[in-house]
Amino acid sequence: MPAAPGQHLGRRPVIVNLTVHVVDTVFGVPAADLEVGLRRRTESDWRELARGRTAADGRLAIWQERELRSGTYQLKFDLDGYDATLGSVPLHPRAIVEFRVTDPTADLDLPLLISPNSYCTYRGNPPSES
């Protein structure tokens, strides 16, 4: 009999962490209190999985200690909301970072560098546990 969703036939689910780190490159500071959403691609649409706000250090552990299956995901960063607190209007209202999970056992860190006219992302190194 096949395993029910969430069951793994005698093995424990793999848990991973997905973190983001947002830096405002104009001021050289962490982008605090920026809203971030995480979505997973389904057969026909996107399913929201989590939502949160960056801390004072610009970091957010948006997915902690849970299983993250292989597939396509999006992180949606609300740049309009962040820039409104600074009194500016960004060129990009949102930064949508689409990425693929191919190794569901690997932690991910996806930094985002922002300015009013651009953004850049890359695969970073997950924060180490101290």
Per DSSP, the three-state class of 118 is strand
Identify the pLDDT of residue 3.
Answer: 42
| 3 falls within a domain | no
| 6 falls within a domain | no
| 4 falls within a domain | no
Identify the pLDDT of residue 13.
Answer: 60
| 114 falls within a domain | yes
| 42 falls within a domain | yes
pLDDT along the chain (130 residues), means of 10: 44 75 97 97 95 97 84 97 95 97 89 97 79
* CATH number for the domain harbouring residue 79: 2.60.40.180
Rounded Cα distance between 71 and 68, Å, is 9
pTM: 0.85
| 10 falls within a domain | no
The whole domain housing 93 covers: 16-121
With b meaning 16 or more CB within 10 Å and e meaning fewer, what string describes 96-129?
ebeeebeeeeeebbbbbbbbbeebebeeeebeee
Q: Express the helix, strand and coil content of the chain in percent, nearest 5 each.
A: 5, 50, 45
> Based on the structure, what is the number of domains in the chain?
1
